[in-house]
Each structure stands twice: as structure tokens, then as C-alpha cells.
Amino acid sequence: MNFKKTIDRYHLASISLHWLMLALFIGVYGSIELRELFDKGSVPRESLKSLHFMLGLLMFALVWLRIAMRAIYPAPRLQPAPPSWQAIAGKLAHLVLYVIMIGMPLLGWLMLSAAGKPIPFFGLELPALIGPDKPLAGQLKEIHEFVGTAGYFLIGAHAAAALVHHYIQRDNTLRSMWPGSRKLTS
């Protein structure tokens, strides 16, 4: 297996983790939105909430691997190089996405802990991070929901930026992260 990054593409591990994290984002957001279709306390609603918790915690676990891959295999250079303001905006957006992938699962874990609820993780029950505190649980829930809503916009902006880079600026941003074939038509 070749562990060296090519000049024009991300390493296969980085590409795989990027798209896996997208799938996890879809699962996390989808499960929490779909729960609204079911009555409070119903089995499907509670199952979707548990899935939301577990996928969020899985994202928390995998983001550390993603950060390690990013440190070992840095991003390829964009060609042609974007204006400096775009490069700075891109770095800032990526930083905020990483903060969300770390902070949101931690907020959720803290929220469940403060609510005195179990923290499910694929057949395991994780320990509470803090003791029960209902008012704190409510505050954490509000923050979690606010950041979750902001996450929709940031993820959408990230996807839109990749499309702008590909179809308007015609640089290698999207091609360098595209899975499979190196060919991606513009």
C-alpha cells in the first residue's frame, strides 16, 4: 500500500474519511429530523434519537483519525491558486467544520449526562461526563440545536464552494477530493 500523498490529490484515507464523514452528517441530521414523524415516546422516535446519538459519537471518534490523516498527508495545492481571501476563508470554514465534528458530539454527550439519560453507543453505554443537572441539560440542548442549525448552512456553503471551485473557477479542489477515478469533468 502506498502511503505517500500525490501532488494533485488527497490521500485515499483522507478521501475515504471525508466522504464517510459526509455520510455520518447525513445520518446524524436525517435521524434527528425524521424522529419528528413519530409520536413522542414511540419506539421509532426513540430509535432514531439513539441512532442520532450513536452516529454523532462515531463522528467524534473518527474525526480524530481524520485530523491525524490531515497532519500526515496535508492537502494538495490548489491549482490555479485561489486569491488569498478565499484560501483564508476556506481554512476558517474547515476549522469550524472540525470544531462542529468535535464539539457537537461532546455537547450531546454532556447534554445526555446532565439529563441523567443513558449514552448509547452501538450496544455499549458510555459513562456520563457530568452529574445530573436538568437546567444545564436544557441550556446545553439549546446550544446543541443552535449549532446544529448553523451546521446546515456551513455544510451547504462547503458543498457550494466546492462546486464554485469546480465549475466556475475550474481549479482542482473537487477533483482532488473526488473518490475513485481521477477523472471528474468540469
Q: What is the pLDDT of residues 101-155, one digit of tens each?
A: 999 999 999 999 999 999 999 999 999 999 999 999 999 999 999 999 999 999 9
pLDDT for 74 = 84
Q: What's the domain range around 131?
A: 12-74+81-177
Please report, for the domain that includes residue 24, its CATH number: 1.20.950
Within a domain: 7:
no
Query: How far is the C-alpha of 86 from the C-alpha of 157, rounded, in Å?
Result: 13
Structural element, H or E, at residue 139? helix 134-167
Query: How far is the C-alpha of 177 from the C-alpha of 186, rounded, in Å?
Result: 14
Query: How far is the C-alpha of 64 from the C-alpha of 58, rounded, in Å?
Result: 11
| Cβ proximity of 136 and 43 under 8 Å | no
Cell, residue 179: 473518490
Mean pLDDT for 78-93 is 92
pTM: 0.89
Half-sphere exposure of 58 (CA within 13 A, CB side): 21
pLDDT for 181 = 58
Residues 30-76 have pLDDT tens digits of 999 999 999 999 999 999 999 999 999 999 999 999 999 999 998 89
Within a domain: 52:
yes
Within a domain: 133:
yes
Number of domains composing the chain: 1
